[in-house]
Amino acid sequence: MNKEQKPMYVIDGEDLDSLLRDIVKSEFAVLEEKLRTPPRILTREEAGQKIGVSKNTVSEYIKRGLIPNRGIGHKILVLESDLERIPSKYNRNYYN
């Protein structure tokens, strides 16, 4: 088999239905957990540690609009959930 050919799998309708139901159920469980968990507020330093960049880089991401600043006045605060929206090319940890 060369690199362009991919294996083909055959699955019947019942198995496909069951598989899709399991996937949807799993995704809803993850979503429900996120909705039940209160938002975690991070400082620049904590946000930087979470995504593997410096606090100055976090400030740059805020300036570029990649992360919203949730702080008041000069205090920079970031919601942990906002970090998940950063495009992967800017995220060094990739949330692993």
pLDDT at 6: 87
Q: Name the β-bridge partners of 78.
A: 42
The closest of 94, 67, 69, 70 to 82, measured between CA atoms, is 67
Task: Tell me the per-residue pLDDT of 4-30, one tens digit each, with 9 for 90 and over.
Answer: 788 888 889 999 999 999 999 999 999
Residue 17, CB-side half-sphere exposure with 13 Å CA sphere: 3
pLDDT at 77: 95
Residue 19, CB-side half-sphere exposure with 13 Å CA sphere: 6
pLDDT at 23: 96
Residue 96 has pLDDT above 80, yes or no: no
